[in-house]
Amino acid sequence: MDEPLFAIEGLHVAAEGSEILRGVDLTVRPGEVHALMGPNGSGKSTLANTLLGHPDYEITAGTVRFKGEDITEWSTEARGKAGIFLAFQYPEEIPGVSVVQFLRQALSARKGMELSILELRVAIMEWMGRLGIDPSFGDRYLNEGFSGGEKKRNEVLQMALLEPEFAILDETDSGLDIDALRIVAQGVQEVRRDHADLGVLLITHYQRILRYLEPDVVHILVGGRIVESGGHELAHRLEREGYESWR
């Protein structure tokens, strides 16, 4: 059996003095896709922010481990450099910074060395072709005037270039129409084709992205706890019954 790539153990998290996560346990092995589903207010965004290392979320008990190492106290930057990628539900606009400039900075930090613009452009052009992204995209300011689908595709491009070992996709399907959703899911699969050991935690409210990105394990989060885990059939049951069965 593979060693866990990413393990959350007995995680309790509070924000503004009130406990939101009440003992979350979740283990992802190399190459696995896990979907974490839950209704609004269940603690999904709290978990995503905690895994990013957001300072507003206080871990009161439990640990987060990456490749066996306790990263509970690590900064966001340290997590990124180590190979953890987090795609945001609402990516920020950064006026004045082009997609290429941003990727150069992010990749230099991840690899620990400066990349030439030429090296980077070659890599970006290859991935833009594979992900069906217009080549002019690289010169636009980051997320400025981007549609929801463009923002999410840009995050998949970042993930492809940064070559993380573990990716947390927080509500990547939020606000996307069915075509954009399919393109983003196919993009994630394209990255996985090159990096078979990439572990993915997909945090989502909806079952529809799972038609294109089939998870190995589905977890249901209600009231700050994972109340059930199972295979893909659990997502189908959820679509039929809603969350009422688990409340």
- What local confidence, expressed as pLDDT, does residue 92 receive? 66
Q: Residue 165 above 60 pLDDT?
A: yes
Which of 85-94, 185-194, 218-227 tops mean pLDDT? 218-227
- What local confidence, expressed as pLDDT, does residue 10 receive? 98
- What local confidence, expressed as pLDDT, does residue 88 receive? 61
Mean pLDDT over 7-28 rounds to 97
Mean pLDDT over 54-60 rounds to 94
Instruction: Please give the structure tokens belonging to residue 245.
Output: 């069965």
Q: Whole-prediction pTM value? A: 0.90
Distance of CA 193 to the CA centre of its chain: 17
Mean pLDDT over 105-133 rounds to 84
Mean pLDDT over 19-48 rounds to 95
Q: Residue 69 above 80 pLDDT?
A: yes
Among 55-59, 124-128, 141-145, whose mean pLDDT is lowest?
Answer: 141-145
- What local confidence, expressed as pLDDT, does residue 32 receive? 96
Distance of CA 54 to the CA centre of its chain: 15
Give just the sign of the alpha carbon dihedral 231, 237, 243, 247.
Answer: negative
Strand partners of residue 167: 85, 200
**3-state DSSP percent of the chain in helix, strand and coil, to 5:** 40, 30, 30
Q: At 112, is the pLDDT very low, low, confident or very high (cuts 50, 70, 90)?
A: confident
Mean pLDDT over 124-145 rounds to 85
Q: At 139, is the pLDDT very low, low, confident or very high (cuts 50, 70, 90)?
A: confident
Among 28-37, 72-81, 146-155, 234-243, whose mean pLDDT is lowest?
Answer: 146-155
* Terminal Cα-to-Cα distance of the chain (whole angstroms): 33
**Residue pLDDT, tens place only, 74-104:** 998 899 889 999 876 555 667 788 888 888 8
- What local confidence, expressed as pLDDT, does residue 91 receive? 57
Which of 19-23, 91-95, 238-242 tops mean pLDDT? 19-23
Q: How many CA atoms lie within 13 A of 208 on its CB side?
A: 14
Q: What is the mean pLDDT of the chain?
A: 88
Dihedral, 75, 76, 82, 83 alpha carbons, nearest 10: 160
Sheet with 58-66, strands from edge to edge, namely: 18-28, 6-15, 58-66, 69-70
- What local confidence, expressed as pLDDT, does residue 196 receive? 93
- What local confidence, expressed as pLDDT, does residue 173 receive? 66
Instruction: Please give the structure tokens belonging to residue 68.
Output: 């066996």
Which CATH number describes the domain made up of 6-91+164-246? 3.40.50.300
Q: At 114, is the pLDDT very low, low, confident or very high (cuts 50, 70, 90)?
A: confident
